[in-house]
Amino acid sequence: MPTNYQCPALFISAIASGQGKTTLTAGLARYYSQQGKQVRVFKTGPDYLDPLILEAASGHPVEQLDLWMMGKTECQQLLANAAQQADIILVEGVMGMFDGNPSGADLAEAFNLPIAAVIDAHAMAQTFGAIVSGLAYYNPKLIFAGAIANVTGSQRHRDLIRNSMPNEIRLLACLPKHTDFSLPHRHLGLVRPHEIIDIEARLDSIAEFIAESDLKNYCIPEVTFKSTDNVQIMPRLTGLRIAIARDEAFSFIYAGNLRLLTALGAELEYFSPLYDQQLPECDAIWLAGGYPELHMQTLQNNQPIKAAIKQHFNANKMILAECGGMLYVQETLTDLHGNTGEMLGLIAGDGIMRDKGGCQGMQSAPLPEGEIRGHAHHHSRSENTLEPIAYGKRSSQHPALGEKIIRQQKLTASYLHLYFPSNPDATVKLFQGKY
């Protein structure tokens, strides 16, 4: 029986990427946590890296919310679950408020989330108010809580911003520029928190800064979240043992994927292609995405685990290789410095990193087992590959072909990161390897 749960909630959006959404969301999460509140944070879109920073800030796991990839029902249930446990829910947006289809604004509208817009104001003054007006009135169905002026300068600058605001729209805070708050990036996004030596100090500093700003006086509105009727998942993978690569090189794993596999009855074991000398006893292997290019030499030199995976492949057992996992199962990988390492060589292909360009976007994988939704995000290309069995289908209906999907024996490889709960039946068939 569906039940309603109330919890204060705020959707933190912006006019574009690079405005400070993640920094502010992380700071708020740490600030409220320091006040003794239970904070649950979500990230809009199929992002693996921002959630790690937000998890470090809040002290709790952070999951993605995406209306296209996950569907409204699952997003709704995740929010309802959080509302049962939390004192505050924060949702970080993606790109600009209205970017994408569905956009962050669509997600906020679907669940009546009040929106706070972060705007980097360092190169503007009175135009700030005009931009805020556009955001607030572009879609009258949205609940616009107010704006946060980020990277402001002098007191005079802040006064100009305040005076530019429409009377009916609240300026939640003016945050001065602070160089210590920046979070380091690399080619796929933010650097993972365990690689940032002073991450805890940075998060505490941001929280302290918020404690001294007007944001400390802002009372986040309560939102009603309604639970859904849970769909019964039958344990159709009972007894199936899945070995999942998880270490510094392979870490892009959705929590929803693990929940589904567990609900299906699969036995999940984890291993490290970097450090382990042997595989766990398993029927299937899942090589998730990550940063194999940063650990190319170690991957190349770990001959025992390479031999074990090759033996699994030669025994005609199931392997799913996604993005970084696909780079690992191909023959070679060349990093941004031109260094080339020998990978598994299970299938033809040479992965080459590139510092510009790449691919990102929502796509579904039309597998023979059924269509599974997901996304692509990479800064590499693969050459000399096998002929694909299919191409990804873009959610935007763009006529260009999506990512190649390659299959040899029971190995399926693609740049696509799959979201298994989008099609549990296809996921069962995929991991059973009956093809």
Residues noted as catalytic: 323
Task: Give 123's contacts (C-beta < 8 A, 6+ positions apart).
Answer: none
- Continuous segment of H or E residues that includes residue 207: helix 199-211
* Integer Cα distance of 419 and 413 in angstroms: 15
**DSSP for residue 180:** G
Closest CA to 256 of 56, 429, 46: 46
The pair of three-digit structure tokens given for residue 352, joined into one six-digit string: 């080459």
User: Closest Cα partner for 418 from 292, 311, 317, 289?
Assistant: 289
Task: Report d(CA 268, CA 163) in Å as an integer.
Answer: 57
Q: Which residues contact 311 (CB under 8 A, 6 or more apart)?
A: none
Maximum alpha-carbon separation in the chain = 71
Angle ∠(51,206,43) on CA atoms, nearest 5: 20
**What six digits make up the tokens of 250?**
């392979």
Cβ-proximal residues to 104 (8 Å cutoff; 6+ apart), any chain: 11, 13, 44, 45, 93, 94, 95, 96, 97, 98
264 touches 237 (CB < 8 A): yes
> From CA 250, how far away is CA 388, in angstroms rounded?
24
Q: What does the alpha-carbon distance between residue 293 and residue 332 come to, in Å, rounded to a whole number?
A: 11
Residue 366 has a CB neighbour count (10 Å cut-off) of 17
Which tokens hold the place of 282?
């398993």
| Buried/exposed 184-209: b ≥16 CB within 10 Å, e otherwise | eeebbbbbbbeebeebeebbbbbbeb
Report the first-to-last Cα separation within the chain, whole angstroms: 39
CA–CA separation, 189 vs 256, rounded Å? 21
Say which residues have a Cβ less than 8 Å from residue 338's Cβ, sequence separation at least 6.
none
